[in-house]
Amino acid sequence: MIQFNYETDFKLLDETKTNSWINECIEKEGFELGEINYIFCNDEYLHKINIEFLQHDTFTDIISFDYTLGKEINGDIFISIERVEENSNKYATSFQDELHRVIIHGVLHYVGLKDKTDDEKEKMRQKENEYLTIFNKK
């Protein structure tokens, strides 16, 4: 089950489509959905989590807590809408594409993809782009 939670005025345009897409991506990776909670928030909210749980005093667009058990995806994904908006401008992409990239980025971590090295970042970006294409065709 996927739950979308809002700690800001933002709302997804189409929760049903987004839910279906996330499920499809998880299945394509050979996993099954357990429970994922998406929490959409602002910079301040996510900054506090970053300091408290990760000891990072920086702003970020996403923090994911992975509770995956074997092949069953479970976790909490916090997304700063302010960071997504700023990054969409910085990278000259639409807000919706950047939002969907971040939404699936958390799931890709849960299925084992990393993004610490340049090679890992490249593989992560390829998968994000693959799944963005699927979303945009729906």
**What is the arithmetic mean of pLDDT over 112-121?**
94
Looking at domain 2-137, its CATH class is alpha beta
Q: How far apart are alpha carbons 48 and 82 in whole angstroms?
A: 14
Q: Where are the domains of the chain?
A: 2-137
Rounded to two decimals, the pTM is 0.93
Buried b (16+ CB within 10 A) or exposed e, 78-114: bbbbbbbeebbeeeeeeeebbbbbbbbbbbbbbbebe
Q: Are strands 2-6 and 32-41 parallel, antiparallel or unpaired?
A: parallel
Q: pLDDT tens, 57-108? A: 989 999 999 999 999 999 999 999 999 999 999 999 999 999 999 999 999 9
**pLDDT above 80 for 138:** no
